[in-house]
A = this chain, B = another copy of it.
Amino acid sequence: PAELKAKITSIAKSFKRLGQDDPRRVTHSFKVGFALSLVSLLYYARPLYDGFGVAGMWAVLTVVVVFEFTVGGTLSKCLNRGFATFLAGGLGLGADYFASLFGKKGEPIVLGILVFLLAAAATFIRFFPRMKARYDYGVLIFILTFSMVAVSGYRVDELVVLAHQRLSTIILGGATCMLISIFICPVWAGEDLHNAVASNLEKLATFLEGFGGVYFLSCRDEGSDVDSKDGNGKSFFQGYKSIMNSKNREESLVSLASLHSTWEPGHGRFRLRHPWKHYLKIGALARQCAYHIEVINACIGSHIHASEEFKGKIEGPCSRMSAECGRALKALATSMKTMTDPSSAKSNVENTKAAMKDLMFALKAASVENADFLAIAPAAAVGSVLVEIARCVEKISEAVH
């Protein structure tokens, strides 16, 4: 019993954490429950029931299948479902009429062939990447509705009435979902995308701001491995790991949101024709930055350690460069969030460029003394990659404008 209690507590805790991480999840759950209860009224209220009949079940089905977390997702599924049902219903009726021309014996054969051909063709169309991204659900519903109408038409005589009932209940269910998702605590995919990209930049900034200190600190108390360091250093490296792990998730979020956000009407601070595609560009640049950081980290963890002397020489410009990059990114993230002009970021980018020049001078100066190349190579690599990061940051700063 004690074990069971502990297990239940841990499950309850994970529930609570899930809700606290993003309270909109709880709201969303209640919204779905509310929409379902509302639609099932169709069944309970007798006058409505007499109007719609068993087809009211389709309203319930529509709500369950169509209600997505974001407004854009819900709208896209609703419209897909509506148009596909309408189109497939019409085609299905046509197929029924066409098959009936072949007499009692021929009808099932002709219908079977039609269903086979249309299902095969539509399934093949789903493999087109562009169709898959935007209309996958619509094509699925198309196959579904067409085969159901065509097949059941052989039995049910009042097919037009049935089709009309189905379509009207689907529209009813879809409209309920759309209204609830737009007007009750809406979750805009566009806003999610906006925040995800901004927080991506912030994470990169945190790493870059902390980087100089940790890298050059770690070589001062040489011998103790970077990974085994405690306190500040460790949490810093774990923060970096979280970028790498979350990158994948955020990437898919960005692509999904940018797709869904094209379905969303203008809202809040965003106009109808907000340049959503621009976010993909910034996201790609941020990812490029993350790749570079990954390599820098690999270089730090490398077993060839750079000479202390040389490191000391490039420490100043390197730390300054990475810190300025970090500050520039932070300023860009803030200006994205508040939607103001990132003027302070510009000066940071200028500072980065100055630091880059200093680094080159330091390298030139170091070449006068005859140091060991082997010892210099890793540090030089870190420097070179930092230069690339600085270039990335400059591009991001241009893209944000």
Interface residues of chain A, those whose CB is within 8 Å of chain B, are 14-15, 18-19, 25-26, 28-30, 32-34, 36-37, 40-41, 43-44, 49, 54, 57, 60-61, 64-65, 108, 111-113, 115-121, 123-124, 127-128, 140, 143-144, 147-148, 151-152, 154-155, 248, 251-252, 288, 291-292, 294-295, 298-299, 302, 304, 360, 363-364, 366-368, 370-374, 376-378, 380-381, 383-385, 387-388
Contact = CB atoms under 8 A, between A and B. Distances in A.
Copies of this chain present in the complex amount to 2
A45 to B, nearest CB: 9
Looking at chain A's contact residues, the main secondary structure is: helix
Given A57-B152, A291-B291, A374-B364, A123 B28 contact: yes
Contacts of A44: 108, 111-112, 154
A11 to B, nearest CB: 10
B116 A34 contact: yes
Contact of A374 (B14, B33, B108, B360): B360
Given A32-B119, A288-B294, A295-B295, 12 more contacts: A14-B128, A26-B124, A36-B116, A36-B147, A40-B111, A44-B108, A44-B154, A57-B151, A60-B147, A60-B151, A64-B119, A64-B144
Contacts of A30: 120
Contact of A388 (B40, B121, B299, B363): B299
Contact of A302 (B33, B34, B152, B384): B384
A145 to B, nearest CB: 9
B148 A29 contact: no
6 smallest CB-CB distances across A and B, nearest first, come from A367-B373, A33-B120, A381-B384, A381-B381, A33-B116, A29-B124
A65 B143 CA distance: 10
A370 B369 CA distance: 8
A298 B388 contact: yes
A300 to B, nearest CB: 11
A19 to B, nearest CB: 8
A140 B40 CA distance: 17
B115 A295 contact: no
10 contacts: A29-B123, A29-B124, A32-B119, A40-B115, A44-B112, A65-B140, A298-B388, A302-B387, A367-B374, A381-B383
A137 to B, nearest CB: 11
B115 A49 contact: no
Contacts of A40: 111-112, 115, 147, 151
